[in-house]
Structure 1
Amino acid sequence: MDNSGLYVGLDIGTTSIKVIVAEKVKGQLNVIGVGNEPSNGLSRGVIVDIDQAAEAIRGAVNQAQEKASIEIKDVIVGAPANMLRIEPCNGLITIDDQSREITAEDVRNVASSAMGTSLPQEREVVDIQPEEFIVDGFDGIKDPRGMVGVRLEMRGKLITGSKGIMHNLQKAVEKAGLNIQSMILTPLAEAHQMLNDGEQDFGTIIIDLGGGQTTATVFHDHQLKFATTDSEGGEYITKDISIVLNSSMSNAEKIKRDYGYADSFQASSDNEFPVEVVGQSEPTYVDEKYLAEIIEARLSQIFDRLKDQLEQVSALDLPGGIVLTGGVAALPGIADLAADQFNANVRVYIPDQMGLRHPSFSSVLSLVSYYSDLSDIQLTTRSAVGATMTKAPKVVEQSAQPTSKPAKQSKPKRPKNKKKRGEGIKNFFSDFFD
């Protein structure tokens, strides 16, 4: 059975691959199938082994199509924000010698004209976003089709990404036996799903705390203005726990999920839990506050680097504050930690759909929601993506480069209780990260 009329989202993350099948009934999305498979072949948000990634994609798709009782062929794929660049673009075409009605083909042609810039060999167009059309000098037009004119212009934003990253992503999906219905930039989809009209208008930051990396994006005037990625995420927290507590990665992940706090102020030194230590037959007992110190230290490092990037573009002055999402955002106390470090209002986004009430499902749900709500003129314009480029774009946004050193494989002394935030973290950094 073809999944025509249904929407299938595919989110390829570093630690897990998620698929959802949804149908839209009277403007409401209903999720009818979900797949969730551990990732293979990915590192820091990008595919490094196409065969392994394709196998993991197939596993997640098989789960979703079994639950939805359909055969999945077409998928809406999320494109990561790695090495993202944004630039203004303008297009202009002459309709005809004499006035006639503007058609969808004219819109595609003017979008192609706007993309008629030569890209370096290593870059590829991910999306083009029209801001306005101009017909014979009359501006502010959202949809020019059906209007009469001789001259059609388009102003908008051109978003480009790494050709290598995009190629590997497409190849893995195709090798999994799937057709890419649309490639959607994940941050755009997340903003559509998570931010209300005022937040998109006045300006808001979304921080997606994934397993392999952390992405911060800034939206203002309903447009993506800035994007930066940090190459550390939840996996680094798990590795820290594993090294410090001398426990396996699988045990460390379970400990993080079951007992972890992002904010050490909210953890108790009286609550202890058993830890299976490598080379010991009996478990060691560790308190929640000590675990929280480990988690808080790594998160603080990530937040500090993002803060530097966001301050450079004055994003922290925007009234919408910060919205946290991604699997790491499920840690208790993370909103308080982020609010303290960024000195901003912070909230955590959690999907409200049954079976998806965890921030790790935010991205895949956003892909389906965004695509299903695209207007006809947006779909028409996006259909021009893929045309041959001939001019290099000016770079206006770049990804942040991580500056943290890899953690040493030695156990630090247990930090003393803190009188203020940062004191214990500072001691922990001096023992563990330097």
Structure 2
Amino acid sequence: MNDSHIYVGLDIGTTSIKALVCEDVKGELRVVGVGTQPAGGLSRGVIVDIEKTAHAIQAAVRQATEKSGIKIDKVIVGLPANYLQMTEVHGMITVANQGQPREIINQDVIDVASAAMTQNLPPEREVIDLVLRDFAVDDFNKIEDPRGMVAVRLELRATMYSGPKTIVHNTKKAVALAGLQIQDLVVAPIATGFELLSDGEQDFGTVLVDLGGGQTTTSIIHDHQLKFAYVDPEGGNLITHDISTVLNTSQRNAEQLKRDHGYADSRQASDEVQLAVDVVGKNQPVNYSEKYLAEVIEARVRQIFERSQKKLQSINAPQLPGGVVLLGGVAILPGIKEIASEYYDGNVKVYIPDQMGVRHPSFALAIALCKYEDDLRDVDQLLKETVHQEGNFASVVHQVVQQAAQTSAAPQPTRRPAPSRPAPQPSQPEAQAQEQPVDNQPTKKKKKNPFSNFFNNFFD
């Protein structure tokens, strides 16, 4: 896979693993192949058996290769937002040579990013990403790319995202064991928030609710930044478990009932439609109404939304103009939008990809990963280069270490290598996000508005 316009998004989910091959054709990203396999070795969004996960990744990538006809050797991997922490950072360096201004080059961007990352992290955490806010050249700020400008001083404002080494290492190790290189590691809400929302939704603020199989991630995008992320260890698997328990049927039957006949809103289901269900201990199927099945599903869906909404209330999140966007496999349930509207303020919509063959909300992350990488600018790549130069993306495979060294020597890197310094870590606790407000820099006082209490805590 040598074509730089080919991208493979790898979504390592609790219930399924998806490998999506996309090609940039004249600025338009097209899906050319997809592989989907049942997941293995994951619990509530976190890898707990590296070898099982590696085998599932191999199977998904093999299927994507067969369908696309493209040899896949590198992937863009989505990371869950469990225990994600975000911090506003600031870096400054002197560019002048012997007191004389000079042009800013790539190395200056790397140096100022390194200066911004000079924060002591606990040994169990590692920097995942550094997302640009803006540069300042001498007394001029709000600059997106300072290269080529003449300056005495260069400053950088960015958001630094860090996560548990256990999650990051296990992900990288599983991908390496599958025989693949990591082109990029992207926090899932960053990819979906930056790529699936419109410019206005990212600017004014939108809540994303990713209803996955093993967990539900609630995040806030505002001012084109990920401002908040919370992971709740309840997802579609618990809906299946509820159906299995209440109807006394197998997990496989319960999953099939949910997919083929399930409603999130029982008001939309019929009491007259009867479903023949194979019940444990019964020689003949037992009939249950479609409405009864929907009532079982709705009870858990409401609990998921209630927990998400209470978390938003706990941080005094205001009603954001962009409303709420639902994605993930559970979002396909009929009536999900109507139930969500009872818990969230503003407009609620379900994101469904418009590409042929993947028109299902469960493919949202895989598509977003490809779009994210395709949209990266050179200056963004330099920030990513800084992250792995600092030792955070060292490889677990010797071959990838050598590639990392070659990439770091290049003036304009285009690939993020896979990691290198795997250290054994304590076992991962139960999946639950740890959100952290961004460290605010002093700003001018603004006129009070309904958003002020929340923005003062989380936004600049």
The answer to whether the 8 A contact 2:82-2:434 is kept is no
1:399 aligned residue:
433
Q: For 1:234, which of 208, 226, 236 is the aligned residue?
A: 236
Q: What do residues 341-390 of structure 1 show as CA deviations (whole Å, max 9, x unaligned)?
A: 22432100000000000001011001001110112211222211134489
* 1:13 has 2:4 as partner: no
Uncovered stretches (5+) of structure 2, i.e. residues with no partner: 393-431, 436-460
Q: Match for 1:191 among 172, 193, 201? A: 193
- The 5-angstrom pairing of residues 26-425 of structure 1 reads 26-95=26-95, 96-97=97-98, 98-388=100-390, 399=433
The answer as to whether partners of 1:205 and 1:315 remain within 8 angstroms in 2 is no
Q: How far apart in 2 are the matches of 1:76 and 1:278? A: 43
CA distance in 2 between counterparts of 1:270 and 1:340 reads: 26
**Deviations, residues 173-205 of structure 1 (Å, cap 9, x unaligned):** 011000001111111111123211111111110
Distance 2:113 2:187 in 1: 18
Give the root-mean-square deviation of aligned CA atoms: 1.5
Give 3-state SS (helix, strand or coil) of 2:17's partner. strand
The residue number in structure 1 matching 2:450 is none
Q: For 1:296-346, what per-residue CA distance to the aligned partner results, in whole angstroms no more than 9, with x for missing partners? A: 111111111111111123334112110000000000000000001224321
* 1:271 CA displacement: 1.1
User: In 2, Cα distance between the equivalents of 1:23 and 1:400?
Assistant: 35
Find the aligned partners of 1:78 and 1:320 in 2 and give their Cα distance: 24
Q: Deviations over 1:204-236 (max 9, x none)?
A: 100000000000100111111100000010000
Q: Distance in 1 between matches of 2:361 and 2:317?
A: 23
Shift of 1:108: 1.0
Kindly provide the CA deviation profile for residues 81-114 of structure 1, in whole angstroms up to 9, marking residues without a partner as x. Answer: 1111111000111223332111111101111111
**Residues in 1 aligned to 2:71 and 2:207: alpha-carbon distance in whole angstroms:** 37
Q: Quick one: structure 1 residues 332 and 316, their matched pair in 2 at CA, closer, same or farther if it must change by over 3 Å?
A: farther
Once residues 81 and 56 of structure 2 are traced to their aligned partners in structure 1, the CA distance between those partners, rounded to angstroms, is 21
Q: Can you list the C-alpha shifts for 1:221-258, whole angstroms capped at 9, x where unaligned? A: 11111000000100000000001001000000000011
**Residues 3 and 73 in structure 1, CA contact (< 8 A), matched pair in contact too:** no
| Contact 1:41-1:53 within 8 A present in 2 as well | yes
Q: Are the counterparts in 2 of residues 75 and 178 from structure 1 also a CA contact under 8 Å?
A: yes
Label 1:76 to 1:151 Cα distance change in 2 as closer, same or farther (>3 A): same
Gaps in structure 1 of 5+ consecutive residues: 391-397, 402-434
Q: Answer whether contact 1:116 1:389 (CA < 8 A) is retained.
A: no
Q: Which secondary structure state, in structure 2, belongs to the residue aligned with residue 320 of structure 1?
A: coil
The 1:60/1:378 distance shift into structure 2, 3 A limit, reads same
Decide whether the 8 Å contact of 1:84 with 1:161 is kept in 2. Answer: yes
Q: Go from structure 1 to structure 2 and tell me whether the alpha carbon gap of 1:169 and 1:379 turns closer, same or farther (over 3 Å shift).
A: same
Give yes or no for contact 1:40–1:53 (8 Å, CA) kept in 2. yes
What residue number does 1:416 align with? none
Normalising by structure 1, we get a TM-score of 0.88
- Which amino acid is the alignment partner of residue 433 of structure 2? S
Hey, what's the Cα distance between the residues in 2 that align with 1:154 and 1:341? Answer: 39
Aligned length: 394
Amino acid at match of 1:386: H
Q: Distance in 2 between matches of 1:173 and 1:202?
A: 36
Compared CA separation, residues 176 and 3, structure 1 to 2 (3 A): farther
Aligned residues: percent identity?
Answer: 55
